Structure 1
């Protein structure tokens, strides 16, 4: 497998094989998730789908390290999204991860490229959105229908990637880590236009995971924010308690000027539970999410999520999912890039996931 991955990287880069063979370790990895889904009220009609990524996004990638001596190592990650139902890949090809950096047990990690934001790094373990019933229906603006009420917000938890980023993470200090990231807007003559800044801290022990993050994105205009626009600011706090293989978590974000629209403010609360049934291969998950729309529209969103997973092995599982979303004050419900014609929408899904 290592030789195959090394050869693939060398071929795609258009390089000679020799430099790639210098890697100490290169791993090909991925997830294939395919299932049947039924979504009611998609623009007024029900729809049945054979869909990739019901539970976890299908993907494949390469990650590698090279030992540079003295505790220092070179690290990289290239990861592409995949639609297992059609075989299609996304554009750009490595749209999920594309970065290179240096890592040290004593100094931490420094990475550069396209990456998940710091707020996702700190909270994804505690949020565990995929166990809430549908990994792409979390109420954060990612993966929801463009015409739905929730699509007006994006608290950066749902997998939104950041281009042109530099990220640093300290080594663990008695369970504590400091996380920092900046990303260049690359607007000529305006170094701050489109710039992203993010700073956070996390803690992890045998039973507790917790974190606090601040994230901001400047307006992209070279002359500063245009009328009706402002700096997007997100503050997040959350954590999880782990006991006997079960996870119970809570996560909260406060967002001001979402998507750089002035006054487009919202709070999002997510609660979750993931519990393995002792002596069986079953894992049950459930959660509740609430988006408090603080604009004049006041289109609050509530969502309930349920999941049942049957583990065939450490790498393969069967699953069944259910999600129900409701919206106040005439807002449109929307999950997984679909939009309802009313304030309600349901999703059902069953499928299989294999990791490699």
Structure 2
């Protein structure tokens, strides 16, 4: 009888421990049909002999297909620990996309804020996401014109970051990558930061990032949700704008600055949006005498929600004189 009671007590205790932790499987499947004329290797030059085809991870997709796991454990006393692992997948054939790991980090948080280590979103991207009109889709006119606050990726490898608690809608985040971990021959470190105000319908974000011995990038934007209508605007100064090809290979660095303004209208489960970017400066990052053409870029998006997790979308992206468009279906699970 005593052994049975002990066994029941152990089971009850283990059940209580298990109840304090959880792991969630989640992901996105996004496929569409469209045409991509933009050639990142040559500014303003269209791709030759491009045909309309299926796309799963292109600039005409709403989001990149992926699968991930996230977990959290309640350590007690208001303290929590967790992790996030996420991998990009090719929804056209089901394969994992080599070299496109998305998240791989561990964190701890409490009343003091949150500390995180590993591959994660940059603080500057998190600041941009607060005001990006469409939620930073693949066809974001901001991201495709000025990068993610000048960077080719929205994530940093080997990043240490700290995020403050929210005080009256204000919060801040700072990230750091050491010289030994950053990719520039181990001679440069990187600092990344944001300052955010998000309270009710108003969101404002300031983003900053800098690689040592290089010029800094920054962006400031705001978005206001009136209910049926949303308005967003920003200023971006990407003084080290990284240009990469479709596989993420570096093609060069330029300076690109400009404004964006856009609006979104909702009608029940339908939304229509227009976001426009206009260059004020476009030149070689380290030789101001080498200037490129200034562009007015724009994206038009229409979405129809089939449910809370699934929607149809259509987009047209005018990017550096090229025409890119697509229609697709996205399902979140």
Instruction: Give the TM-score range, shorter chain.
Output: 0.7 to 0.9
Which residue in the other structure is 2:105 paired with?
99
Q: Deviations over 1:43-67 (max 9, x none)?
A: 2323111111411111111111000
Equivalent of 2:25, from 24, 28, 42? 28
1:195–1:207 Cα change, 3 Å: same
Which residue in the other structure is 1:114 paired with?
119
Equivalent of 1:50, from 16, 33, 54? 54
Q: Deviations over 1:116-144 (max 9, x none)?
A: 1111011113114557xx62453546xxx
Decide whether the 8 Å contact of 1:98 with 1:114 is kept in 2: yes
Which residue in the other structure is 1:283 paired with?
271
1:177–1:139 Cα change, 3 Å: closer
1:21–1:313 Cα change, 3 Å: same
The 5 A counterparts of 1:1-356 are: 24-40=21-37, 42-53=46-57, 54-92=61-99, 95-104=101-110, 106-129=111-134, 135-136=138-139, 138-140=141-143, 155-156=149-150, 159-186=153-180, 193-218=187-212, 230-259=213-242, 264-277=254-267, 280-291=268-279, 292-295=281-284, 296-326=290-320, 344-356=321-333
Decide whether the 8 Å contact of 1:322 with 1:346 is kept in 2: yes
3-state SS of the aligned residue for 1:119?
helix
How many angstroms apart in 2 are the aligned matches of 1:266 and 1:140? 12
Decide whether the 8 Å contact of 2:133 with 2:263 is kept in 1: no
Decide whether the 8 Å contact of 2:273 with 2:301 is kept in 1: yes
How many angstroms apart in 1 are the aligned matches of 2:192 and 2:118? 15
How many angstroms apart in 2 are the aligned matches of 1:272 and 1:89? 35
TM-score, structure 2 as length reference: 0.79
Decide whether the 8 Å contact of 1:233 with 1:258 is kept in 2: no
How many angstroms apart in 2 are the aligned matches of 1:203 and 1:130? 17
How many angstroms apart in 2 are the aligned matches of 1:165 and 1:97? 11
Q: Deviations over 1:213-245 (max 9, x none)?
A: 221012xxxxxxxxxxx5141121111001115
How many angstroms apart in 1 are the aligned matches of 2:88 and 2:36? 23
Decide whether the 8 Å contact of 1:124 with 1:157 is kept in 2: no
How many angstroms apart in 1 are the aligned matches of 2:64 and 2:37? 21
For this pair of structures, how many residues does the alignment match? 293
Decide whether the 8 Å contact of 2:23 with 2:70 is kept in 1: yes
Decide whether the 8 Å contact of 1:119 with 1:156 is kept in 2: no
Task: Report how far residue 206 of structure 1 moved.
Answer: 0.7
Decide whether the 8 Å contact of 1:129 with 1:135 is kept in 2: no
Alpha-carbon RMSD: 3.0
TM-score, structure 1 as length reference: 0.74
